[in-house]
Amino acid sequence: MNVIALILLGSVVVVPAVALWSLHWASRTGEFRLLNRAALLPFDDEEPVGQATDQILNRGGDRR
Amino acid sequence: MSADSNRPLDPAAALDRGEATDVVQMHAAVQRERPEPMEGSEPLNLWLVVFIAVLLFWAGSYLTQYSGGFRADEFSENQINPAPPPVVGGSGGDDPVTKAVKAGTPLYVTYCAPCHQGDGNGVAGQFPPLAGSEWVLAEGPNRIIRIVLHGLGGPITVKGSTYNNQMNAFRDSMDDVQIANVVTYIRNSFGNKGSAVSAAEVAAIRTATAARVDPWSAAELEGVAVSGGGEGAAAPAALTVDQIKEALKALPAEDLKTLLQDVAK
Amino acid sequence: MSSTNTLKALMPGDVQSDPARRAMLAEIDASCRVPVLFFVVSGLMWLLLGTLLALVASIKLHNPEFLAAWEWLTFGRVRPAHLNTVIYGFASQTGIGVTLWLMCRLCRVPFPAPGLTTVAALFWNLGLTIGVVGILVGDSTAIEWLELPRYSTPILFFSYALVAVWSVITFRLRRERHLYVSQWYLLAALLWFPWLYATAQIMLLIEPVRGVVQASVNWWFAHNVLGLWFTPIGLGAIYYFIPKVVGRPIHSYYLSVLGFWSLALFYNWNGLHHLIGGPMPAWMITVSVVASVMMLIPVITVAINHHFTMVGHFGKLRHSPTLRFIVFGAMAYTLTSLQGVANSLRSYSEIVHFTHHTVAHAHLGVYGFFTMVMFGSLYYIVPRITQREWPSLALISVHFWGCALGLILYVVPLSYGGILQGLGMNDASIPFLKVVEGTLPWLRIRTGAGLLLALGHVAFVVNLGWLLCRVFGPYRKPVVELFTETGTAAVTAK
Amino acid sequence: MNYGPLLFLGILFTLASSWVGLVLMPNRQLGALTANTSTNDTGVVVVYPQPRHGEAQQGAEHYRSLGCVYCHSQQVRPEGFGSDIERGWGRRRTVSRDYLYDKPVMLGTSRTGPDLTNIGERQSSHDWHYSHLYNPQITSKGSVMPPYPFLFEKRRVPASGPSSDALKLSGEFAVEDGWEVVPRPQARQLVEYLRSLKTTVDLPEAPLPKAAAVEE
């Protein structure tokens, strides 16, 4: 058995373990709470949710 | 949010050009909108999860099957089901011509095609054609074998056109069998129809011309009988006695011994 | 309207309307004005030069006698000069500019070091000028994606270090506890690139490793410049601008998480699929093939996420230049990634490897995806940091259609021609010169497509130059009247 | 995902994984590779590969500088994968050991022109290479390779008579009487490099195919 094979096989065990642990940690410490807050981050007062911005092309017709 | 941001900042200080004092007016320039509220943190779709699981399974099996044991010297991903060892010109009928043509193909592509082109028509003004060439199709292969062994230099007329270029010697690149195969290939391809050439013929000419270093000239070759000659008898008529002597001197002792034995036979 | 209010209630108090908040946004935009504009404008200058070099190289491929007498304009020098000007001159600089602005906006802090970063941008351009001239005079390293000669790279690295350090400091200073998806991608790009670049420099140019290990490092690096530098910046921008322009949060947070981590895990293993059939031990290539196929996970995830955010809002493509470019880029990302998965399969690679198909694929990725996303971002960012509107809508249309049609005309025929070329090459009974002859029509179409792209670029540069002239002139208000009728009017009416 | 340090560690860890897998591991496996020593049919000990010296090495620098690698690959794919071997680009696939002393390794990713792994074996004639570099149309009509006139010098035939290495140009490529085209040192070195490109030696991991005994 080659070193590389061992490392690959080892990582098959270690990587999911680390992933599971970090998921557990994340849910315990509230990383997944208030996701809406994070999702709303791009919006601000000037350009709030529910308002499309940057609508500058093909507006000529509407104006007249 | 830090405390100081609650204090209204001076908008003029915020803009280094200080041209707009009214922040609302300033931002009006970038406000163009239409209402449409929505929000989302949709859970994962079940089908997506299934798809990912299938991919992961495939990845594992592909990795185990085609990794060549993670060895540094295993270059084929198929070592579980190895390809048959490549044999050039293995089977292909009993006909020696067919066999030789098959074995000669890769040799032609490697050594000859760069100049004489894949279709054997050469390049006008540069490299003479092999297709229909009187030099190739001569009754016997004595001249063509010599050309392949030692190359050719100086002007030569082929199919009515004159060419003046330099052809390589291939005596070190190919052994007798290979030269026999490639000459047979040339004599039986591009519409050519000629007899097969045997390795023995090549060997005989190779031995007879062993001392030769320079490429042939067309004039010299004209002096070589197109066919005939057998073991050791292929010494070209054009050679003088002195030339032969010199050639013998140049031979390594062992080769000379073998040659003498051959002649004695 | 009620759901908007619900969302507003979820936002922290200080996000809600107050003058301080507005002033802060203005301050943030103003703080990155100089460095971002410097990176963007110099990036576009490199784009023009790169386009010119590309046209020369493209013409040379079907007219080999074209400009053949000059050594410094021979194909083997123009081509790497083109690649390096567009990759390190245009794409990287524009990418850095967009990254800076997004970072500041999302972290809610003004950029802490505008002056220093502008100096860094100066050095970046200096290093690159030296490097590109070096390639043209014959000092190219002939290592793909890393052709810039050794003497130019320390300057680039120094400059990059300045930019990255201050971007990461901006991230550390963030006044917003929550992290948005774009920030993950941008932070990752900022950290991944120096590692890649330093490793490749050391192992290939400073103290070269032995034999084919160089090829391994080369393709690990080259593919990751795309995968771990441009892709995260591009995706970060898409994740920001689609919600921003359509006015609606991203479809699913969970898909974002899955997409980000699967990209981080798989993309960096992809590089060695460029060596299929090559002199590498089988396992290295197999690992890369597997990782390339696994890229289906992040690609499909991200595509679903973006698509469902857009659903019901496609009509906005008509009105928003940003959205047009960004959505085009997002679609090209999906396409080029799927094409990449196919190209990395051994049986398909056998045909398309070594052909112009790969060239088309690379352009679909770097141009169709990344460059288009950058253009879209600039249409959004520049008016905000300069407080000026785009002067000409017609030029925006010319830019979009020139680039979009040019790219389609580039990629589709050349991909097809590449497949024909590959099939021809794999049939030993077809002479090589016949195969070459067969590629000529596709190469000519490519030159035509290049002209269309060049037209788009010129339109964009003219529009931007026009806008910048207004910046340096007196402040003029008419921009508001020109383009808004619902926006400002509605707000002030309330 | 609001915890910065975790994000930071994840970002570094993912790249570290491929850095170990695709950079450090190959270097560990292949970095210590050595030349192969074998005895050929005639009993001569062959050490392969050998570093390039002199003109051939200088030629490699011109090959790099002129960007030949953007159109010409230097790798032969295995039998049954593509048609490299049928096309005569090499008699066996190339393996890691073939590139032991190359700096940089110019495997190439494009075959706008043919593969050059074995060009020294396929075409050893100086004249052919000179004509081909001077103008590819002389030797390969219809090629898209650019001509390299700057590697050659057009000059008056010296009083001592025409140079031995003057190009034999005829037809549309001929130069005026009393003039000749001779290769500059760069052309000479480049051709030496091209002629040194050969993979004709057996390696245990990539044996040459055995020629079937055709003559009986």
Three-state DSSP class for residue B157: strand
- Please choose, from the candidates D24, D199, D195, the residue with its C-alpha nearest in 3D space to the C-alpha of residue D95: D199
What's the CATH number where B142 sits?
1.10.760.10
Chains touching A (at least 3 CB pairs under 8 A) are: B, C, D
In a domain, D78, yes or no: yes
Q: Is the pLDDT of residue B24 over 60?
A: no
DSSP B82: P
- Residue B122 phi, psi (nearest 5): 65, -165
- pLDDT value of residue C395: 95
- Chains B, C: CB contacts under 8 A, how many? 182
Whole-number Å distance between alpha carbons of C426 and C309:
44
Q: Report the 3 state secondary structure along chain D.
A: CCCHHHHHHHHHHHHHHHHHHHHHHHHHHHCCCCCEEEECCCCCEEEECCCCCHHHHHHHHHHHHCCHHHCCCCCCCCCCCCCCCCCCCCCCCCCHHHHCCCCCCCCCCECCCCCCCCHHHHCCCHHHHHHHHHCHHHHCCCCCCCCCHHHEEEEECCCCCCCCCCCCCCHHHCCCCCEEEEECHHHHHHHHHHHHCCCCCCECCECCCEECCCCC
Does B63 touch chain D if contact means CB atoms closer than 8 Å? no
What's the CATH number where D106 sits?
1.10.760.10
B36 Cα to chain A: minimum distance (Å): 4
- pLDDT value of residue B142: 84
- What lies within 8 Å, CB to CB, of B39 at 6+ separation is A36, A39, A40, A49, C3, C7, C248, C249
Does D47 touch chain C if contact means CB atoms closer than 8 Å? no
Mean residue pLDDT of chain C comes to 89
D108-135 burial code (b ≥16 CB/10 A, e <16)? bbbbbbbbbbbbbbbbbbbbbbbbbbbb
Mean residue pLDDT of chain D comes to 89
- pLDDT value of residue D153: 94
Does C204 touch chain D if contact means CB atoms closer than 8 Å? yes
Chains touching C (at least 3 CB pairs under 8 A) are: A, B, D
Domain boundaries, chain C: 19-176
pLDDT category of residue C475 using cuts at 50, 70 and 90: low
State pLDDT tens for residues C411-431: 999 999 999 999 999 998 899
CATH T-level fold of C19-176? Four Helix Bundle (Hemerythrin (Met), subunit A) (1.20.120)
By the 8 A CB rule, do B8 and C19 touch?
A: yes
Residue numbers in B near A34 (CB within 8 A)? none
- pLDDT value of residue B221: 83
Structure tokens at C365: 């990725």
- pLDDT value of residue C484: 35
Residue numbers in A near B22 (CB within 8 A)? none
What percentage of chain B exceeds 90 in pLDDT?
Answer: 2
In a domain, D10, yes or no: no
For the ranges B62-71, B120-129, C16-25, C358-367, the maximum mean pLDDT occurs at: C358-367
**Contacts with A, B 11-30, CB within 8 Å:** 27, 30
pLDDT category of residue C18 using cuts at 50, 70 and 90: low
Structure tokens at A54: 């940057």
- pLDDT value of residue B9: 44
By the 8 A CB rule, do C326 and C373 touch?
A: yes
> B54 with B151, same domain?
no
pLDDT category of residue C109 using cuts at 50, 70 and 90: very high
Q: Write out the residue range of the structural domain in which residue B71 sits.
A: 46-79
In a domain, D211, yes or no: no
Whole-number Å distance between alpha carbons of C353 and C344:
9
Asked if the Cβ–Cβ distance from A42 to C283 is below 8 Å, we say no
- pLDDT value of residue B191: 81
C296-310 vs C253-266: helix axis angle to the nearest 10?
150
By the 8 A CB rule, do B34 and A55 touch?
A: yes
How many structural domains compose chain D? 1
By the 8 A CB rule, do D66 and D106 touch?
A: no
By the 8 A CB rule, do B48 and C17 touch?
A: no
State pLDDT tens for residues D62-76: 999 999 999 999 999
- pLDDT value of residue B112: 82
Torsion, Cα of C289, C290, C292, C293 (10° steps) = 120
State pLDDT tens for residues C165-205: 999 999 999 988 888 999 999 999 999 999 999 999 999 99
In a domain, D80, yes or no: yes
State pLDDT tens for residues D18-35: 999 999 999 988 988 888
Three-state DSSP class for residue B167: strand
| Chain B interface disruption, residue of A51, A56, A59, A62, most B CBs within 10 A | A51
State pLDDT tens for residues C383-396: 988 888 899 999 99
Q: Write out the residue range of the structural domain in which residue D68 sits.
A: 37-196
- pLDDT value of residue C354: 95
- Chains A, B: CB contacts under 8 A, how many? 45
- pLDDT value of residue B264: 64
In a domain, D132, yes or no: yes
- Taken as a whole, chain A contains a residue count of 64
D1 Cα to chain A: minimum distance (Å): 6
Whole-number Å distance between alpha carbons of B73 and B96:
38
- Averaged over successive runs of 10 residues, the pLDDT of chain D (216 residues) comes to 81 92 91 84 83 92 95 93 90 92 92 94 90 93 94 92 87 88 95 93 83 44
- pLDDT value of residue C5: 47
Does A33 touch chain C if contact means CB atoms closer than 8 Å? no
How many structural domains compose chain B? 2
Q: Which of B31, B36, B56 comes nearest C491 by C-beta?
A: B31
